[in-house]
Structures are given as structure tokens and as C-alpha cells.
Amino acid sequence: MPDLPKVFVREMDSCYYAFIMETSDPLRFVQLEMARLTDDNRDLKDELHVLRSSVRALSDLQEIIQRITPATDVLVLLDDLLASAVAVVGASDGSLLLLDEDTDELVFAVVHGEARERLSGYRLPPGEGIAGWVAANKRPLFLTNVRDDPRFYPKVDESFGFHTRSLAAVPLLDGERVLGALEAITKNYDREFTEVDHDLLMIVGHLASVALSRAEAFAEEAEEAEKAAKG
């Protein structure tokens, strides 16, 4: 077999280098490499299409949030935001948890996925799980394999028959005040969450935080108005 150019050898992935070193048919290698690049290009186009669609959806949701009124059903809006989060990062499931300030528990307020009805309303003990850590530390956390991390709370999987593999979570904050956490669960096709996923999920988390803050402000105004009316 003729020698390969050194630059080409250096740039090749190790598995492909091993393959061509063992084969007596370099042309076959080139054909396989072309097929792989074609598949990669197709995947990139698909991901770009999903990304563009998700950005448009997020832009629409941002406009809706700016027009929140006292009559707006915030849970419906949060459901739309969670749907966008799951779609934009290519996750199989997602959840939005809100902090119960009386008990410090995180409550599954909005859920997307197999156990949507069963998991809604479930409470995480204070500080437990990835969501609990994210809320307590006010920092995002992205894990490729949750079972290798001691912060993972397996009781949810055990109780509802899940098998969480990867998980991405961001805090919901109003300034320094914790409102809750947003999770995208198990990236599709066994892929890993990326830096782009991190940035997009942070955007969705910010939009959700703004929606919650505005809804709370309206509720407080309504309460003050009611007190004033009663004299």
C-alpha cells in the first residue's frame, strides 16, 4: 500500500487511521469516508433546521412574555417554554420545577414526557437531585452520565420507571432569588448535551424566570388593590 501524506495521516481520526492501515483497499476507505461525511452533513442540516425553528419559536415566546397581562395563564406559557426547551436541545423529556418557599422543596410544576401526568406535583426534598443542586448553587449543570454523579436523585427514576442517562439543568432566578429549575432529560440518539444546548437552555430559563416574575408582580398588585378597596 502506498504511503499516505503525513498531513492527511495526522488529521485522520484514529479509528479510520487504524482501518486504512489494515486494509489493502485504500479506495474502499475513501468511499467509506465520503459516505460518513455525507451522513454528517445531513445531520448538521437537520440540526440547523431544528435550531432555526426553535429560535423562531423562542422569539415568538419572548414577544408573548413582554405582553403578559393579569389574565395570562402562566402555566400554559411555561408549558410552551418547556416544550421549546426540549425541542431546541433535542431531549426526550423535560421538567420545570418551582420552589415552594415555605418548605424549600422543588415541585414539578410542568412536565413533558412519558410520566407527565404522574410526575406533575411531585416534590423533591430540599437540596436533593440535580435540580436541587442547581437551585441551591444558582448554577447550571450538564451531565453526560447522571449515574456517575452523587448529586443524582435516583428515587424519581425508581418511582416512575425512568432511566435517565444525561441531564441538563439551569436555575430559574429573579436576581439572586431562586424561583426554581428547568431540566432537559436524556439527549436523543444517545448524544451528549453541547455548549450550544447550554446557551439555548439558559435563554429558555431566563424567559421562564421573566414570565414568573411578571406574573408574581401582577398578583401582588392585585392583592394590594384588593386591600386598598377594602379600606
DSSP string, 18-65: HHHHH-S-HHHHHHHHHHHHHHHHHHHHHHHHHHHHHHHHHHHHHHHH
Instruction: Over range 85-105, report the average pLDDT.
Output: 94
Instruction: Report yes or no: 182 and 169 within 8 Å, Cβ to Cβ.
Output: yes
Cell numbers found for residue 13: 481520526
pLDDT digits (tens, 9 = 90+) for 153-181: 999 999 988 889 999 999 999 999 999 99
Tell which wins on pLDDT, 6 or 142: 142
Q: What is the model's pTM?
A: 0.75
Can you state the angle between helices 26-66 and 14-22, rounded to 10 degrees?
A: 160
Q: Which CATH number fits domain 45-230: 3.40.50.300, 3.30.450.40, 3.90.230.10, 1.10.10.10?
A: 3.30.450.40
**pLDDT for residue 6 is more than 60:** no
- List the Cα angle 212/214/219 in 5-degree steps: 95
Residue pLDDT, tens place only, 20-31: 445 555 556 556
Rounded-to-integer distance, Cα 13 and Cα 36, Å? 12
Judge contact between 96 and 109, C-beta under 8 A. Answer: yes
Q: Name which of 142, 147, 148, 151 is nearest 192 in CA terms.
A: 142
- Residue 105 pairs with which residues in a beta bridge? 100
Segment 175-228, tens digit of pLDDT: 999 999 999 999 987 888 988 888 889 988 988 999 999 989 888 888 888 888
Percent over 70 (pLDDT), the chain:
77
Q: Which of 210, 212, 186, 194 is nearest to 86 (CA)?
A: 186
Distance between CA 114 and CA 160 in Å, rounded?
A: 9
